Structure 1
Amino acid sequence: MAYLNGITFIGGLGNVTAYTQKGSDKIILRRKGGPSRAMVKNDVKFAVQRRYGQELGGCSVAGKAIRMMFGPNRALADQSLCAKLNQYLLQVQRRDTANELGQRAIRLSHMPQLLAGFSLNGKASLFDLTIRSTITASIDRDGLSARIAVPELLPGVNFYPADNQSMYSVTVVLGIVPDAEFDAELKKYVTPLWFDTTYAPVMASTAWLPAGVPADAATLEIRFPQRPPELEFSVMLSVGIRYGMFLGDGTVLQTRRVGAAKVLAMG
């Protein structure tokens, strides 16, 4: 992979394409080539490749549901989460031995702990480097609820906030993640019909606190308002630290694209 330095352009130029990606300020160069889109779509030589591509599309469907369930913590991601989530979901998909290649299901509910600790940041340990004491959590799957214990935070001891940030808040989000399966009639991967906009993630957070002052331990409780009609789902609890600026009217404006988040627990 090559990078541009001193010359700036985006798009195609001859047999080279230049593009950027989230989490990097570099312009990436890639040589054009390979089979045409029509060949990959129709040629019998690419039949197996099409099946793998179809399964990758299934991971994208499942990944979209996961990203939605990060709720407000998704704004703390400093990279594209699609490819990173696909790496995990492909491992789940390969566990399906009942369906043929190209139609294997993504049943995260069979191994939800795979995503525990998943970082929304390019630096995998960014959240743990910010809050260096353990945040404990317990999930009640039957009650669709969680209880989170945030330890006492002492700047310079177990708490290292981002530079030049005056206020912070610890935020937890509870969401319901459905499995994804191939629909033979529609010829594509889908999530269950019950999974619609009524299953929005729920959030709880500490008050906005000054970053340079010790903060007492806090307990957060959160509950999902409705139960899915099926058992094939996972309960996902993510935690994030967001930063903000104190305004003159007494409110705090959250700072964009600054913070850290991870999946705290799954159930």
Structure 2
Amino acid sequence: MAKLEGNIQITGSLDNLSFYKMRGSDKIIVRRKGGPSAEQVRKAPNFENTRRNNGEFGGRAAATALIKQVLNPLRFLADYNITGPLNALLKPIQHMDTDNDWGQRSIIISKNARLLQGFSLNRRYQLDTILRTPVLYSLKQQQVVIDIPELLPGLNFITPGNYSWYKFIATAGIIPDVYYRDDNWGYQPKGDFNYQPSVDHSAWFPTNAHAGATTLTIDGLPEVKPEDHSILIAIGIAFGTMQGTEIQPVKYVGAGKVIGME
């Protein structure tokens, strides 16, 4: 993948090149058309390493999809495509698997969960630049309790723009480790995985007024966390505008962050 520099703005095709834009980048992306056929990549001996890399990429993609499922309530806050960076974060985790061959290495997040802690959904404004006081959480049986401190505009709360309202959204869920299955199913969690993320959110607050401490409570976690699973905890702050008689959140404004991996 290449990026077009300078003042030339072009999208579409030109000879064997494709030009297009990608959210999260202000550059024009350039790709060359063509390459080996799918049949060659699938069967030719000289593409063995490519098949191994593609297989492991598919494993990381499966794990990334499970992470994004938990982050889904905050996805409207993201100002770039988080899929690639999440996949990249999982690559060193996959390389830590020394029990399986290259091309079939597992993604054991549960043994390396802290590598995902602090992951940000934003590049323009990050949560720590808006909230200048740490947000803390605690696990209590089958729930997560998130404590948001007292906020004073201009001191420990900085609004990224001219918005009148804000609210907090918290999400938590189970992330399974992902393993290669030699039965044409590719990469999958062990057993049946049917956990859904749980969400809590605050009321809307005016951005120009002092706000007391706020507590968000997320219920629905399993009573006993399976050994090869992790709990992902994330929080976001959304900004809104009044439209008629209702406050509507503004997309791609605000911030979201993974604040805990257990």
Question: Is the TM value for this pair above 0.5?
Answer: yes
Moved over 6 A (4+): none
Matching of residue 223 in structure 1 with residue 219 in structure 2: yes
Quote the Cα distance in structure 2 between the aligned partners of 1:173 and 1:53: 31
Kept in 2: contact 1:174–1:224 (CA 8 A): no
Q: Decide which of 228, 231, 239 is 1:243's aligned counterpart.
A: 239
Per-residue deviation at 1:102?
0.9
Task: Measure how far apart 1:33 and its partner are.
Answer: 5.7
Q: Deviations over 1:184-230 (max 9, x none)?
A: 1125111344223xx22111122100011111111222222545784
Alpha-carbon spacing, 1:179–1:227, altered in 2? closer, same or farther (3 Å): farther
Letter of the aligned partner of 2:210 in structure 1?
Answer: P
What is the SS of the residue equivalent to 2:253? strand
Q: State the alpha-carbon separation in 2 of the partners of residues 144 and 164 from structure 1.
A: 39
Which structure 2 residues correspond to residues 186-205 of structure 1 after superposition, within 5 A?
Answer: 186-196=184-194, 199-205=195-201
- Letter of the 1:88 partner, please give it: L
The Cα offsets for residues 59-112 of structure 1, whole Å up to 9 and x where unpaired, read as: 000000000001311211111111101111111111111111111111101111
Contact 1:61 1:191 in 2 (8 A): no
Identity %: 35
Are the equivalent residues in 2 in contact too, given 1:183–1:190 (CA < 8 A)?
yes
- Bigger drift between 225-234 and 131-140 goes to 225-234
1:30 aligned residue = 31
| Residue matched to 2:88 | 87
TM, length-normalised to structure 2: 0.91
What does residue range 1-40 of structure 1 map to in structure 2 within 5 Å?
Answer: 1-3=2-4, 5-10=7-12, 12-32=13-33, 34-40=35-41
Q: What is the letter of the counterpart of residue 126 of structure 2?
A: L
Indicate how the Cα distance of structure 1 residues 230 and 255 shifts in structure 2: closer, same or farther if over 3 A, else same. same
The alignment partner of 2:184 has SS state of coil
User: Which runs of 5 or more structure 1 residues have no equivalent in the other structure?
Assistant: none
Paired residues in the alignment total 260
- Report Cα offsets for 1:2-58 as digits up to 9, x if no partner: 327444322x32121112212124322233465444332221111122111100110
Contact 2:11 2:21 in 1 (8 A): no
Mark the runs of 5 or more structure 2 residues left unpaired by the alignment: none
Q: Alignment RMSD, CA only?
A: 2.0
2:257 matched to which residue of 1? Answer: 262
Aligned pairs for 1:1-267 (under 5 A) are 1-3=2-4, 5-10=7-12, 12-32=13-33, 34-123=35-124, 126-140=126-140, 143-196=141-194, 199-226=195-222, 230-249=226-245, 251-267=246-262
CA distance in 1, matches of 2:9, 2:79: 25
